[in-house]
Amino acid sequence: MSKIEVSCNYCGNKFLKQEFHIKKTNNNFCSRKCFGLYRIGSTSTIEKFMSKVNVIDDNTWIWTGGKTGMGYGTFKYKGKVKYVHRLSYEFFKGEIQKGLCVCHADDNPLNIAPNNLWLGSHKDNVYDMIKKGRHSWVGLCRSASLNEKKVLEIRDLCKSGKYNQSEISRMFNVSRMTVSHIVNRKTWKDI
């Protein structure tokens, strides 16, 4: 297929584009950066955003700015603090439909390269996490009322036969179902 010289819709630079893509869409951008600038309409915002990104290659853009305790990058955009992987997707790939997650192909929350990001439902994201073996949250949830020691104690108390699951649930201030799941290893399987 032949290439035709076209002008970038944002910066005006001339570049070659496959003839097929010209007929398919009227969006002509010489780079992802120009596409992002065109979408948000502000050079200063995208330049500020990109100043906090270490671009290693097309698949690896490491966020060097602020981040959450869980390791996700954040950036103030239009007066609100937003996750940078979502902003990167919006800036360089397009709109995110309501209810969809922006997922990382390489599971690195600081890698915000557009080629590393894909859209999926929450269910898709959880399935991807389980498939890749990243689903053990033992000790990671600061607000959890249980820890490894308490889980082992619950199992020991239940095994002893001195207390039923309802009594144990009251001792640990959790539901009877939580105790049942722990004892039957539906939760806290790793312990």
Give the per-residue pLDDT at 143. Answer: 45
Low-confidence residues in the chain, pLDDT < 70: 1, 20-26, 39-43, 135-144
CATH architecture of 137-191: Orthogonal Bundle (1.10)
Burial bucket for residue 51 (CB in 10 Å: 0-12, 13-18, 19+):
exposed
Whether 31-131 shares its CATH topology with 137-191 is answered: no
For the chain, the structural domain boundaries read 1-30, 31-131, 137-191
Give the per-residue pLDDT at 138. Answer: 44
Which residue from 88, 109, 11, 94 is spatially nearest to 46, judged by alpha carbons?
A: 88
* Global confidence as pTM: 0.53
pLDDT digits over 38-94, tens only?
766 656 788 889 999 999 998 999 999 998 888 899 998 877 899 999 999 999 999
Give the per-residue pLDDT at 144. Answer: 59
CATH architecture of 31-131: Alpha-Beta Complex (3.90)
